[in-house]
Structure 1
Amino acid sequence: MTLRFRENGTFRVLQMADIQDGPDVNEDTIRLIREAIAVSDPDLIVLTGDQIRGYDPAYIDTFLRRRGDRPGAHVRAITKFEAAVQGVKPSDDNAAAAMNRTREKVRATFSSFLEPATTAGVPFAATYGNHDFQCGVLADEQDDMYREFPGCLNRRCIPDTPSALAADHNDPLACEPGTFALPVEASDGAGRITMSVMMVNSGDYAGETGGEDGEPGSHVESPVQLASQTADTVPYELYASHSRALDLADSAGYGTPSPEAIQWLHDVQRHLGERNGDGRPVPAIAFQHIPPQEFYQCLREVPAWTPYAVEGTRTFAGKCYLLDESKCRPGSLLGESIGCADVNCGEVEAMRKAGGYFALFAGHDHKNAFVGNVDGFDLGYAPTCGFTSYGPKSALRGIRLFTFHEDDPAAYDTRMLTYGELIGRHSGNEVRVFVGDHIVTDGASLRNELRKPKVAATVALTGAALAHVVWHGLIHRK
């Protein structure tokens, strides 16, 4: 399928981030996707990872805490809790039967959230996040599943081997599952590539898996060392006791694109230039799941007591931030800290050196919806468009629309298509959304909540009321 600018010189893309659901995709999520497609009439949809809620109770038999783990061996405590509430119990079937059931559930998830796109005839492409694989089906197999649906543009990746057959089919526009290029040709039909959409697999968790068959190692000297251990080298007893540190954010931090992917970002520009016959890099935008560290450059450090400030995490812990209005577009929102890797893998710098790249957009941090510019390079987010996971209030969950212009793709327009704008202020389950909007998992998230004036006022009034009740109770007892 050839992507091409319209006769009026525009090309429209929808970015859907963090659907993050199980086999029965939330109806509000589907309504949002359907309405966004209807009002925007896109030429392409990009899914930027965590389409699958890999820790959902539906996958309790095949859950992978990390790649290389044994399916179902180390299930998260929150998954066990949800399973108990839903009445889901681990099955006694063998591993092969359990995995086949998971495959069908993943297909059901894909079928649900892709139905609005396939019905409308809109092509789509998908990359992966840190939760997709946790259902037990890895990215390469999920790639094959996506290609079962009409309109899938995920390019097939064939390993670079000496085999003549492999060489004949090796695609320079593809690097690995989730990392590939989608050239967009000029509207005149002459075949010249005017811009390219780059999908990048940003990895999942840092560190390598532990012992044989993904078994955790046998030695951790003290809890202090947890911060320097990967989850797969921590005894399960400690993992279970420190599930926040060892699972949600991973003790070694989030992952980054592979070295091969970063090299490919340079090489693919050279290939596109050769196809155009001038050797020049083409204007390109990249989409991935986990943001790189440069996203923090869109923020400004502020005092800890500043209203609405959010605390940085891990490498950026101990500092508080707000959006830097001088760098960010109007309408930008910062709702939580930037969950980047602990190391800077050089991805943005590689894009700058390759030339042509003008923007990188991510998901991962469900409450963020800003677009900033750092030294002429755009960095931006789409918030979650799902209603099963945590995120902002219903009205702010949405899908990002891009309109690119053939004469200057880098001068693109973008805005959020929100649930509040398209459907209404309230979802079908406001209690769940409220909990997801105000959930507290550690000291930093608690302090972030208390920096919200309404939350602080509510806490203060509640505390005063309780103090009043206690005081009067003590007086009457006397």
Structure 2
Amino acid sequence: MALRRAWLLPLLLAATAALPLLVAAKRPTLRFSNDGTFKIIQLTDLHYGSLSFRDKRTTEVQTKVLEAEKEGMGLVVFSGDMVTGFMEYVDAALDKMVGSGGNQSGWFEQQWKKVVAPVHNLSLPYCITLGNHDAQADLDGRYRFPLAPQIVQLDIDTGKHLTLTQQGPANITGASNYWLDVLASNSSAVAARIWVLDSGMKGCDGDNESWGCVAADTAQWVAETAATLPPVDTHIAYLHIPPIQVLEVWNNESTRGFKDEPSGCSQVDSGAFAALRDAGVQAIFFGHDHDNCFYGELDGVRVGYGRKTGVGNYGPPRDVARGARVVLLREGESAADAETWIRNEAGKREDDQPSDAENKVMFEQGECGTPNSWGEKLVALMG
């Protein structure tokens, strides 16, 4: 018996030593603060993989914004186009021109480390949804196509104890479709829900000329899933490509913020807006259009853009600072009424000003830009 105990002792000691590692790997629990608030910061269109000095500046912007908002932070949402994926092939071509072989092994993983370094350095919980540029790269055989789910898995594998990213259901369109629950400040009850949805790349429900969308089967999944979940008072969603309803919001509703380019919204109404609205979602935020940063309300749902965060690629307008949208949810209150502001690259708070209703340049009826109509931005896209 003594021999058996002696044999077990090293195993028990090893198991005990491993406990901190198991605890460290546990994902964070989202919860309203004691003051009844939950702060979300949306980083959008970072476009890492551009010229190295631009990537460095993007990290500086990210860090400045996150440090300024770190107190009371609940969640950081990366809402797509974290990496300009096609720049992998541009870099490879340039390498061949200078005689270095064009080997880009590990290129995407290198960019991903840059993307998440600031949130890891500041120990902030975060999640991602994919944009139209992220999955244009190749993960060099370590992860196999289709690429989008493998980017999600890359973040899950490397996000340690901070990422809340999840693989979406394999039987619907898109890889990054999931929801996160936020607990009440003083109980284990679910008090808020955050939907994170994949709007794809190009093409929407059979229209191959359109930008992507939260597809019809995904919208149906949202509706069916929401019906099985306990109701909550506070409900918000994040995606990358704007739904077509953004046109109506700007043209017909009172808005705050600015529009400086046509919307690259989905030309097809996939039913996603209606599904989210009927599921109780009160606010939907997105990115994609770097020169737009406005929000308004439609059918009781706040609909709006984040602020372009990254230095790579085009935008925002010359007189506008890069930054991030902050949303301060309040326990028991609608997300449509949540306080929201921009934290800019200088670390200063910007409050969205009422749009100039008399001088608004309206979207034309059904005016959603298409991937093929963006040739004039090719130069900007190359860096």
TM-score range (shorter-chain normalised) is: 0.7 to 0.9
Assess if the C-alpha contact under 8 Å between 2:174 and 2:200 holds in 1: no
Conservation of the 8 A alpha-carbon contact between 1:361 and 1:382:
yes
Given that residues 9 and 406 in structure 1 are in contact (C-alpha distance below 8 angstroms), is that contact kept between their aligned partners in structure 2? yes
Q: 2:166 aligns with which of 155, 159, 165?
A: 155
TM-score, normalised to structure 1's length? 0.60
Q: Secondary structure at the match of 2:258?
A: coil
Name the structure where strand makes up a greater proportion of residues: 2
Give the alignment partner of residue 112 of structure 1, picking from 111, 114, 121: 114
Question: TM (normalized to structure 2)?
Answer: 0.74
- Cα distance 1:261–1:442, how it changes in 2: closer, same or farther (>3 A)? closer
Q: Which amino acid aligns with 1:50?
A: D
How big is the shift at 1:111? 1.3
Structure 1 residues 376-415: aligned runs within 5 Å: 376-392=300-316, 393=318, 395-410=320-335, 411-415=337-341
Matched residue, 1:438: none
What CA distance in whole angstroms lies between the structure 2 residues aligned with 1:88 and 1:107? 23
Give the structure 2 partner of residue 297 of structure 1.
248
8 Å Cα contact 2:190/2:232 also seen in 1: no
* Equivalence for 2:343: 417
Q: Tell me whether 1:193 sits opposite 2:201 in the alignment.
A: no
- Structure 1's consecutive aligned runs of 4 or more residues displaced over 4 angstroms after TM superposition are 86-93, 157-160, 420-423, 441-446
Q: What is aligned with 1:178?
A: 176
Aligned to 1:48: 79
Residue type of the alignment partner of 1:4:
R
Q: The residue matched to 2:259 in structure 1 has which SS? A: coil
Equivalent of residue 287 in structure 1, options 219, 222, 238 = 238
Within 5 A, what are the aligned runs for 1:455-466? Answer: none
Give the letter aligned to residue 166 of structure 2: R
Letter in 2 for 1:3: L
CA distance in 2, matches of 1:199, 1:158: 13
What displacement does 1:383 show? 2.8
State whether structure 2 residue 222 is matched by structure 1 residue 265.
yes
Contact 1:181–1:196 (Cα < 8 Å) also in 2:
yes
For this pair of structures, how many residues does the alignment match? 313
- 2:154 aligns with 145
**How far 1:270 moved relative to its partner?**
2.2
Q: 1:404 to 1:92 in 2, by over 3 A?
A: closer
**Percent identity over paired residues:** 25
CA RMSD of aligned residues (A): 3.1
Following superposition, the deviation at residue 421 of structure 1 comes to 4.9
Local SS of the residue matching 1:11: strand
- The structural deviation recorded for 1:422 is 4.3
1:45-124 to 2 correspondences below 5 Å: 45-56=76-87, 58-60=88-90, 83=94, 87=97, 91=101, 101=105, 104-124=106-126
Matched, 1:344 2:269: yes
The answer to whether residue 69 in structure 2 is matched with residue 36 in structure 1 is no
Segments of 5+ residues of structure 2 without an aligned counterpart are 1-27, 140-146, 350-371, 378-383
Larger radius of gyration: 1
For residues 208 and 350 of structure 1, the distance between their equivalents in structure 2, rounded to whole angstroms, comes to 16
Deviates most, 178-187 or 369-378 = 369-378
Task: Looking at secondary structure, tell me which structure has more helix per residue.
Answer: 1
| C-alpha separation in 1, matches of 2:79 and 2:205 | 24
Q: Which has the higher contact order (CA 8 A, sep 6+)?
A: 2
Task: Give the aligned residue type for 1:259.
Answer: A
